[in-house]
C-alpha cells in the first residue's frame, strides 16, 4: 500500500489520474487481444487475459483507496458524489475490457475472414473514444488547481465534445458489424454467432462507458 498512500499527499485528484492511466493500460490490450484471436494464437490470448486481469485488479485497489480517502479530504472544488460517479464509470471500463478478454478465452472461436477487418474497425473506433476520454481525464489535477474553471476547463470541454461523436461512430460500426455477422448465418453455427455477438457487445460497452465517464467529467465542469 506504500505507493497508494504516497499518491494521497495533497488531494484525491492525483490518484484519480493514476486510476485513469491504469484503466487505460487495460484498454491498450484490446488491440493485441483482437489480433491474437484473429491469428488464432490461443496461448497468447491466455497470457493477454492474465495481463488484463492483473491490471483490472490494480485499478480496483486504487479505486478502493480513493473511496476510503474521499470522505476525509479537505474542501473539494466539486462534489464528492461527482468524483465517485466518475470513478465508478472508469472502473466499469476496466471491467468491460476484462469481460472482453474472458470471452475470447472461453472458446477457441475462429473469426470468419469476412469479419476480421470489421472487428478491427470496431476496435479502432472504440480506441478513438477511450483515447479522447484519456486526453481529457488526465487533466483532472490541473482542473482542480483552477477550481474546474477558466481556460483549462474550456480546453477539457473541447476534448469532451469529441467523445459523443466518436461513440456515435462506434455505434454505427457495431450495428453494421451485427448485420454482417447475421449475413453469414448460412455458413456459421449458432454458437459461433453467439460468441461474435458477445465480442461485439463487450466492445460496444467499453465505448458506451467511456462516453458516460466523459459525461461525469463534463458535469463537474459545467455544474
Each residue's pLDDT tens digit, 55-74: 999 999 999 988 887 755 55
**Confidence label for 6 from pLDDT (cuts 50, 70 and 90):** very low
Mean pLDDT (whole number) for 147-167: 83
- Per-residue pLDDT tens digits for 140-156: 777 777 777 787 778 88
Give per-residue pLDDT as tens, 89-121.
Answer: 999 999 999 999 999 999 999 999 999 999 999
Angle of CA points 178, 125, 214, to nearest 5°? 110
Within a domain: residue 218? yes
Answer whether residue 28 is part of any domain: yes
Scored b (16 or more CB within 10 A) or e, 172-208 reads ebbeebeeebeeeeeebeeebeebbebbbbbbbbbbb
Whether residue 7 is predicted with pLDDT greater than 50 in this model: the reply is: no
What totals of helices (H) and strands (E) does the chain contain, helices first?
A: 9, 0
Residue 4 resides in a domain: no
Domain assignment of residue 57, given as a range = 9-222
In a domain, 102, yes or no: yes
Residue 3 in any domain: the answer is no
Mean pLDDT of 164-168: 91
Q: Is 90 exceeded by the pLDDT of residue 13?
A: no
DSSP string, 133-182: HHHHHTTHHHHHHTTT-HHHHHHHHHHHHHHHHHHHHHHHHHHHHHHHHH
How many other C-beta atoms lie within 10 A of the C-beta of residue 63? 21
- Residue 104 sits in a domain whose CATH number is 1.20.58.220
Q: What is the pTM of this model?
A: 0.89
Domain count for the chain, please give it.
1
Amino acid at each position: 500500500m506504500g505507493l497508494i498512500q504516497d499518491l494521497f499527499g495533497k488531494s484525491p485528484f492525483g490518484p484519480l489520474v493514476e486510476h485513469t492511466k491504469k484503466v487505460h493500460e487495460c484498454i491498450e490490450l484490446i488491440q493485441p487481444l483482437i489480433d491474437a484471436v484473429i491469428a488464432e494464437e490461443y496461448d497468447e490470448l491466455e497470457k493477454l487475459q492474465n495481463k488484463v486481469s492483473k491490471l483490472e485488479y490494480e485499478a480496483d485497489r486504487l479505486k478502493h483507496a480513493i473511496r476510503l480517502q474521499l470522505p476525509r479530504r479537505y474542501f473539494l472544488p466539486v462534489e464528492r458524489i461527482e468524483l465517485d460517479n466518475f470513478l465508478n464509470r472508469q472502473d466499469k471500463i476496466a471491467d468491460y475490457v476484462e469481460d472482453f478478454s474472458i470471452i475470447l478465452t472461453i472458446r477457441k472461436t475462429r473469426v470468419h475472414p469476412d469479419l476480421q477487418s470489421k472487428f478491427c474497425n470496431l476496435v479502432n473506433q472504440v480506441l478513438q473514444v477511450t483515447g479522447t476520454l484519456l486526453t481529457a481525464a488526465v487533466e483532472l489535477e490541473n482542473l482542480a488547481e483552477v477550481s474546474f474553471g477558466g481556460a483549462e476547463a474550456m480546453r477539457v470541454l473541447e476534448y469532451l465534445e469529441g467523445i459523443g461523436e466518436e461513440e456515435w461512430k462506434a455505434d454505427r460500426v457495431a450495428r453494421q458489424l451485427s448485420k454482417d455477422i447475421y449475413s453469414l448465418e448460412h455458413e456459421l453455427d449458432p454458437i459461433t454467432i453467439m460468441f461474435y455477438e458477445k465480442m461485439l457487445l463487450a466492445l460496444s460497452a467499453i465505448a458506451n462507458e467511456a462516453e458516460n465517464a466523459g459525461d461525469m467529467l463534463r458535469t463537474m465542469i459545467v455544474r
